[in-house]
Amino acid sequence: MPFDLVLQKGRVIDPSQGIDRITDVAFADGKVAAIGDGLDAAGADIRDVSGRIVTPGLIDLHTHVYWGGTSLGVDAEAYARQSAVTTSVDTGSAGPGNFPGFRKHVIEPSEVRILAYLHVSFAGIYAFSNRIMVGESHDMRLMAAQDAVEVADANRDVVVGIKVRIGRHASGDSGIAPLDIALQVSDELGMPMMVHIDEPPPSYEAVVDRLRPGDVLTHCFRPFPNAPITGKGKIKPEVIAARERGVIFDIGHGMGSFSWKTARAMLEQGFAPDTISSDVHALCIEGPAFDQVTTMSKFLHLGMPLNEVVAASTLNAAKALARPELGTLKPGSPGDASILSIRNGAFPLEDSRNGIVTAEERIFADGVVVAGKWWHSN
- CATH number reported for the structural domain that contains residue 205 in this entry: 3.20.20.140
- Per-residue model confidence (pLDDT) at position 152: 98
**Judgement on whether residues 248 and 290 belong to the same structural domain of the protein:** yes
**Judgement on whether residues 357 and 308 belong to the same structural domain of the protein:** no
- Per-residue model confidence (pLDDT) at position 1: 74
- Per-residue model confidence (pLDDT) at position 255: 97
**Judgement on whether residues 264 and 185 belong to the same structural domain of the protein:** yes
Domain boundary (294, 321, 348) is at 321
**Judgement on whether residues 280 and 362 belong to the same structural domain of the protein:** no
Task: Please list, in sequence order, all residues whose beta carbon lies within 8 angstroms of the beta carbon of residue 154, skipping any fewer than 6 positions away.
Answer: none
**Judgement on whether residues 35 and 95 belong to the same structural domain of the protein:** no
* Segments of the chain assigned E as strands: 5-14, 19-28, 31-36, 45-48, 53-56, 58-63, 85-91, 113-119, 159-166, 193-197, 216-218, 248-249, 337-350, 356-370, 373-377
**Judgement on whether residues 15 and 144 belong to the same structural domain of the protein:** no
Residue at 326 is within a domain: no
**Judgement on whether residues 46 and 62 belong to the same structural domain of the protein:** no
Domain of 341 in residue numbering reads as: 5-55+331-377
- Per-residue model confidence (pLDDT) at position 4: 98
Number of domains forming the structure of the chain: 2
**Judgement on whether residues 124 and 71 belong to the same structural domain of the protein:** yes
Q: pLDDT by residue (tens digit) across 186-215?
A: 999 999 999 999 999 999 999 999 999 999
Q: What is the mean pLDDT of each run of 10 residues along the chain (378 residues)?
A: 95 98 98 97 97 98 97 98 98 98 98 98 95 95 98 98 98 97 98 98 98 98 98 98 98 98 98 98 98 98 98 98 98 98 98 97 98 96
Domain boundary (298, 321, 344) is at 321
**Judgement on whether residues 161 and 74 belong to the same structural domain of the protein:** yes
**Judgement on whether residues 164 and 268 belong to the same structural domain of the protein:** yes
Residue at 26 is within a domain: yes
Q: What is the distance between the alpha carbons of residues 93 and 71, in angstroms, rounded to a whole number?
A: 9
Domain boundary (297, 321, 345) is at 321
**Judgement on whether residues 49 and 144 belong to the same structural domain of the protein:** no
